[in-house]
Amino acid sequence: MLAYALRRLLLAMPLLLGITFVSFAVIHLAPGDPVELQTGDMSMQQSAQAYQELRKLYGLDQPLHVQYWNWLTRIVRLDFGRSFAPDGRPVLNKIAERLPITLMLNLVEMIIILVLAVPIGILSATRQYSLFDKVTTVFVFVGFATPDFWLALLLMILFGVQLDWLPVSGLRSLNWEYLSFWGRQWDFLSHLALPILVATFGGLAGFSRYMRQSMLEAIRQDYIQSARAKGLAERVVIGKHALRNAMLPIVTVLGLSLPGLIGGSVIVESIFAIPGMGQLMVQSVFQRDYPVIMGNLVIVSVLTLLANLAADLSYGLVDPRIRLAGRRGRR
Amino acid sequence: MPTPVFRLGAVVALAALAAAGCSSEAGLPGEPKSGTIAPAYGDTLIEASIGNVSSLIPNITSDASSREVGDFMYNGLVTLGRDLEILPELATSWTFSKDCLTLDFQLHQGVKWHDGAPFTADDVVFTWEATMHPKTPSAYKADFDAVERVEALGPHAVRVTYKRPHARALLSWAMTMLPRHLLDPYVKAGKIREAPQNWSAPVGTGPYRFKEMKSGEKIVVVANQDYFKGRPHISRIVYRIIPSQATIFLELKARGVDVASLTALQYKRQTEYPAFEKAYQKFRYPSSGYTYFGFNLKDPRFADRRVRLAFAHAINKQELLDGVVMGLGREATGPFRPGHWANNSAVKGIPYDPPRAATLLAEAGWRTRNADGLLVKDGKPFTFELMTNQGNDERRKIAEIIQASLRELGVGVEIRILEWAAFLKEHIKKRPVRYDAVILGWATAADPDQYVIWHSSQVGPDELNHISYINPEADALLEAGRTTCHQADRVTFYHRLHQVLADDQPVVFLYWRDALPAIASRIHGIEPGPAGIRWNFQGWFVPKHLHRYTAG
């Protein structure tokens, strides 16, 4: 298995190179460049000189392959460069500022979804076509179909404006510095309640349907019948034997959704005024802030490749058939 | 020692009670609040902005949010008053030489930067040097183009020498002043963006000093106790970044922000209930932006003035205003804002007159209609493509209304909506331009010089006269207006220019949108005028009994 992992890691290098190259080319294909948007956005105060100066500062006057080469040689030294935005801050700083809140939101959302989706999936499968199954199916699909922003605004009006139970937007109250430690945690929680609610409601459908489907397949297997014939309690049959096998696809999907943890939903973030990765990325694209866009792409690509590898390896760990098949094959 | 700031719940109740008891003193929105209520110190003002603040040095940014925040912390030598007149700020007085080539400023004495260092004439020289430095990415270099040199004649006197008379000279010194003692090394190294001034420790001479910034979330500034004009009354301003107009409106209703710009719909239909009217004052005045229906004047169809005039007659401007901004705007007759001294109020708008439009088109050769009802000339039907940018609901509606109006006339319009950067790069900045007609807008500045938009020398690629307007009379007026420093002459030139452009209709001037701010009613001292309401924000205050946030 170790050899397998090493081989995969080695293969990931050229893959990463290819990803960055294609991404670099594609972004530069988009019309408009960051300098135009900063100096000459149809404002009456532009000047041709400022335009040229900025282009030189950003290295945009070089041919494309030279720009890519410069960027590449810096990235391997882990120098992500500086943003093209007027604040000129290092790209890593800008990303590091926004990553924690996005990660936290996504992690909490994922945990809640799992905690809810797995039981829903199991119960829907064991009680297929029952009232519970039908109600939850409708419920999760309504959640899936509802537009985030619409739901978000409705909840904000209800809880924020009319009932005044929760804050409307933002991450912290104005008096945050003056609150006690527990006061601050509570404040933070009340600010994140609505965004998490909106995100979870939409995301529940995916996992719960996966769980249900995979559970249904597991239940139909012969070994379940033999487990029941052996006289085991239904609880053990479902909870131990069926569940373990049904979880396999879930583990894979979980692994593949790890890279998504660092991406934010720009719509939810904009509506709730949460300064997260989603907003950063969309703004960078609109402003053609190439260093930030590329920096984000590199991070996401690396994470995706690693997560894929982890998912494959964990599949081997969790499923004895794969583990043993590899060993048997070598003899 | 700051006293604890109270959470909204309890204070809302108290403030509501207090405000209810004082309704007789609240007065009507828009009335100057003076005399009856003594200004008090304290309280916090919470503002909201859709755009993120990109830099804390206004000289190197061009977005509105950064400039608003910059206005809190920095001063210029001059500033604008309520009627767009030029008022002294860091300068106490100024004199132009007879030939308009020399401008002398006398500066306030005893002004200190936020870090205690004295502000002197050398900082003024530095600000000019920094802005013009080849490695400084400033969009304002063009403003100082005509300056030959800036010299300090003493610690409190500055002389600016110009290469040629430059009408915008005085107003260009409203530019925010920067401290030499903190920024000199960075500017010389060409790394002004990396200075702490840009992101974590801005130092200005302004009424508020920087307290903290959480990127993408908020910026907090506190009153400068040593401000040379006297400490501002409101103790703290929190500038919140909320990227969604809908959310800002909800925050306004939940009293999480104190100031917000309303859309036409919100102003007219969603804020007319008693609770809102008690808690907020609404204002309405012409904003500095107008929308126009522009033509590619190199297209022979649009080069004919009669065609443009016909289109102007075919569009019912009042209906447009009612349909697009619910009547909250004014018809535009030319490129100068209503209420501005350059605006010639004698110029009339083009009246809605479809028969006249049809006659004009007939005179231009468009007489017969084909089977589809479209006018035909030389065997070709009159159809064209109307472009505008994505994300602007108003412009989309305008395009649709124009399409309908012109269809009745027998002209076919196809609407095309593009992403802004692509639109700009591929269609507007290229020469020849790649559009037939556009719906766009201009944000006008306090100074009426619009040379870069209308002059025939500005038709090159990337330049702003993208419609390719060439009119020698307009050229002469534009040149004259920008090279004299005598106000009376400028008024004459711009009034005449207004008439020329109205007669010629290089674009169909559509309307000036109204600015529609709503401000918490506890804020007193607001005086709306042609410059808007922010011109005197340093003088806003909250009476003691209405304070909502206490912060020492």
Mean predicted confidence (pLDDT) in B274-296? 92
Q: Which of residues 68-107 of A touch B (CB under 8 A)?
A: 82, 85-89, 94, 97-98
CB B459 within 8 A of CB B475: no
pLDDT in tens, B19-65: 333 333 333 444 444 456 778 898 999 999 988 888 899 988 878 88
Which range scores top for mean pLDDT: A52-61, A219-228, B314-323, B530-539? B314-323
At A239 the pLDDT is: 83
Residue A59 pLDDT > 70: yes
Place of tokens 């910034």: B213
Token pair, residue A40, equals 């000459």
Cα gap B552→B550, rounded to integer Å? 6
Tell me, yes or no, if the pTM score tops 0.90: no
Q: Nearest residue of B to residue A47 by CA position?
A: B142
Question: Identity (one letter) of the amino acid at B181?
Answer: H
Between strands B44-49 and B236-241, the pairing is: parallel
- Please give the biggest Cα pair distance in chain B: 82
| A32 with B445: Cβ contact below 8 A | no
Asked if the model's pLDDT at residue A33 lies above 80, the reply is no
Q: How many CB pairs under 8 A join A and B?
A: 170
Paired residues of B289 in beta bridges: B443
Residue A120 structure tokens: 């829903």
User: Among residues B100, B103, B215, B219, which one has the least CA distance to residue B157?
Assistant: B103
Residues 385-424 of B with CB under 8 A from A: 421-422, 424
Q: Which of the given ranges, A35-44, A58-67, B77-86, has the highest pLDDT on average? A: B77-86
In chain A, where does DSSP find H-type helix? 2-29, 34-39, 48-58, 64-75, 91-126, 131-145, 148-155, 181-219, 222-229, 234-236, 243-256, 266-272, 277-287, 290-318, 320-330
DSSP string, B156-215: TEEEEEESS--TTHHHHTTSPP--HHHHHHHHHTT-GGGSHHHHT----SSSEEEEEEET
Summarize pLDDT for A137-175 with one digit per residue, the tens.
998 889 889 998 899 999 999 999 889 899 999 888 888
Q: Quick one: average pLDDT of A108-132?
A: 89
Place of tokens 């490749």: A305
- Cα B256–Cα B258–Cα B262 angle in degrees, nearest 5: 100
A168-198 residue pLDDT tens: 998 888 888 788 899 889 998 999 999 999 9
Could A271 and B247 be called an inter-chain contact, meaning their C-beta atoms sit closer than 8 Å? Answer: yes
Pairwise CB contact (< 8 Å): B199 & A87: yes
Rounded mean pLDDT of chain B? Answer: 88
The answer to which of A40-54, A109-123, B265-279, B439-453 has the lowest mean pLDDT is A40-54
Average pLDDT over residues B514-522: 93
Instruction: Please give the average per-residue pLDDT across A258-281, as a whole number.
Output: 85
Structure tokens at A274: 């949460």
Please state whether the peptide bond connecting residue A119 to the residue before it is cis, i.e. omega within 30 degrees of 0. Answer: no
Q: Do A47 and B141 touch (CB under 8 A)?
A: yes
ipTM of model: 0.82
Q: What is the helix (H) or strand (E) element at residue B69, kind and residue range?
A: helix B64-73
Query: For chain A, what percent of residues have pLDDT higher than 90?
Result: 16
Instruction: Tell me the CA distances in angstroms from A20 to A27, A79, A287, A297, one per residue in order.
Output: 11, 15, 19, 7
Give the per-residue pLDDT at A83. 87
Q: What is the model's pLDDT at position A41? A: 57
Q: What would the pLDDT profile of B143-164 be if each residue is shown by its tens digit? A: 888 899 999 999 999 999 999 8
Residues of chain B in contact with residue A275, where contact means CB-CB under 8 angstroms, are 214-217, 241
Percent pLDDT > 70 in chain B is 93
Q: Considering only alpha carbons, which residue of chain A is nearest residue B418?
A: A31
User: In whole angstroms, what is the distance from residue B264 CA to residue A192 CA?
Assistant: 31
The mean pLDDT of chain A is 85
Percent above pLDDT 70 for chain A: 92
